[in-house]
């Protein structure tokens, strides 16, 4: 697939983003997984086991997605991922007890989300000039985040109209099926053809990418994913402890992140990326501290969630562009695969660890662990920004 200075060469980019939104709803419903597990008689530890299975299958298919991409083509690979998300969502809705069936649903979720989340950005990167990638990634991730935020809100809407929360999983299955049909059709067009360059992750290429400047962005997205995954996955327990409505978090966080990615990304990409990333990282860390210290009512809950949405939402797009543009020549696709791999280790792996902490020590342990990750991200971002500010850019 040849690069193009404009996005709509393969299909209108708006339709592509809508399809990504529909697929992302299924992942968003995983933030209702704790509610679903508790309804089945389980606890946080059981939900953590599902996250662990989802993490392992996700990592496996992120690593193997290059092989799938070479064999099936980009659009057809995502269509296969959509089918897996349909099966996972239906399974979460229909399962009647905590056990193997629930873990199997987590496995299918990881397969589907791993294929889609990894290959989607590769499709865009292969068509867009490096100077447009950050903005394009922001639009793509904004669409995906909209879908992720829709998932838990569907559960709240179902409860509001006295319907079971499983309605959210049914809607997610229908949305994923519709998107799957689109990508299956897209596979017959130029956009769905196999890439001319190899994109598999190998040991030599991985080491080359990780030892480059792109490696720091890959590390940072994993740490950011740990914060996002943990705060989202256990928000129902956090809100219940304070007597608040968990939907306030998702409305504030997703609303702020989506608006920033869709409306401010064009301005943000014109700023020095390392300085911008440092500012956004500090904002994100401040919000994490706020959840532990400042949230006492609905207003402070909403404001803190919005602050987290601004910091995390925009910073993700900035470091995504850095990971692609700072990759060694000819290894952009590999860098994006490793970027997704790092993200999933954080977004699924850390909640698994935190589920154990919550079972033993409570919600405060979760908050302290997330604060520790936030401090580490700030230290990395600060060091990188200072190196850029006072030394040669090549040393960053």
For residue range 136-158, what is the model confidence (pLDDT) as tens digits? 777 787 788 888 888 888 888 88
CA atoms of 280 and 278, how far apart (whole Å)? 5
What is the separation of C-alpha 143 from the centre of its chain, rounded to a whole number of angstroms? 11
Is the pLDDT confidence value at 192 over 80? Answer: no
Chain mean pLDDT for the chain: 83
**Per-residue model confidence (pLDDT) at position 200:** 60
The three-point CA angle 349-38-340 to 5° equals 20
> What global pTM score does this model have?
0.76
The three-state (H, E, C) secondary structure of 227-277, written as one string: HHHHHHHCHHHHHHHHCCCCHHHHHHHHHHHHHHHHHHHHHHCCCCHHHHH
| 128 DSSP β-pair partners | 4
pLDDT for 39-83, tens place per residue?
Answer: 888 877 788 888 888 888 888 887 787 778 888 888 899 999 999
Is the pLDDT confidence value at 191 over 60? Answer: no
Whether residue 158 contacts residue 164, with contact meaning beta carbons closer than 8 Å, is answered with: yes
CA atoms of 137 and 16, how far apart (whole Å)? 12
CATH, domain 9-395, list 1.20.1250.20, 3.40.50.2000, 1.10.10.60, 1.10.1740.10: 1.20.1250.20
Whether residue 20 contacts residue 123, with contact meaning beta carbons closer than 8 Å, is answered with: no
Is the pLDDT confidence value at 193 over 80? Answer: no
- φ/ψ of 4, rounded to 5, equals -140, 145
Residue range 193-208: mean pLDDT, rounded: 66
What confidence tier does 220 reach under pLDDT thresholds 50, 70, 90? Answer: very high
CA atoms of 98 and 120, how far apart (whole Å)? 32
């Amino acid at each position: 697939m040849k690069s193009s200075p404009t996005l709509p060469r393969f299909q209108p980019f708006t339709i592509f983003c809508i399809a990504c939104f529909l697929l992302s709803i299924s992942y968003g419903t995983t933030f209702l997984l704790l509610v679903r597990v508790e309804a089945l008689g389980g606890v946080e530890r059981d939900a953590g086991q599902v996250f662990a299975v989802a993490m392992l299958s996700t990592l496996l298919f992120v690593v193997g997605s290059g092989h799938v991409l070479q064999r099936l083509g980009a659009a057809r690979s995502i269509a296969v991922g959509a089918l897996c998300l349909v099966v996972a969502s239906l399974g979460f809705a229909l399962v009647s007890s905590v056990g193997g069936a629930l873990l199997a649903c987590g496995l299918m979720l990881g397969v589907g989300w791993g294929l889609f989340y990894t290959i989607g950005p590769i499709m865009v990167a292969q068509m867009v000039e490096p100077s447009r990638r950050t903005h394009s990634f922001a639009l793509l991730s904004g669409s995906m985040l909209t879908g992720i935020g829709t998932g838990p809100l569907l559960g709240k809407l179902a409860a509001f109209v006295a319907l079971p929360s499983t309605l959210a999983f049914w809607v997610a299955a229908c949305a994923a099926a519709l998107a799957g049909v689109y990508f299956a059709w897209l596979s017959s067009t130029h956009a769905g053809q196999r890439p001319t360059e190899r994109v598999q992750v190998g040991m030599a290429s991985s080491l080359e990418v990780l030892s480059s400047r792109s490696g720091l962005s890959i590390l940072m997205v994993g740490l950011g994913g740990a914060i996002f995954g943990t705060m989202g996955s256990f928000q129902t327990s956090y809100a219940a402890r304070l007597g608040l409505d968990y939907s306030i978090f998702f409305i504030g966080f997703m609303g702020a992140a989506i608006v920033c990615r869709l409306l401010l990304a064009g301005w943000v990409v014109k700023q020095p990326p390392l300085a911008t990333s440092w500012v956004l990282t500090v904002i994100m860390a401040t919000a994490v501290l706020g959840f532990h210290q400042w949230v006492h009512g609905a207003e402070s809950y909403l404001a803190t969630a919005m602050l987290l949405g601004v910091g995390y939402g925009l910073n993700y797009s900035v470091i995504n562009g850095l990971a692609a543009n700072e990759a060694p020549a000819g290894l952009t696709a590999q860098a994006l695969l490793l970027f997704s791999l790092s993200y999933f280790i954080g977004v699924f792996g850390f909640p698994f660890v935190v589920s154990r902490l919550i079972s033993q020590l409570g919600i405060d342990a979760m908050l302290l662990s997330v604060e520790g990750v936030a401090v580490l991200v700030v230290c990395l971002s600060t060091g990188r920004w200072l190196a850029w500010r006072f030394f040669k850019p090549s040393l960053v």
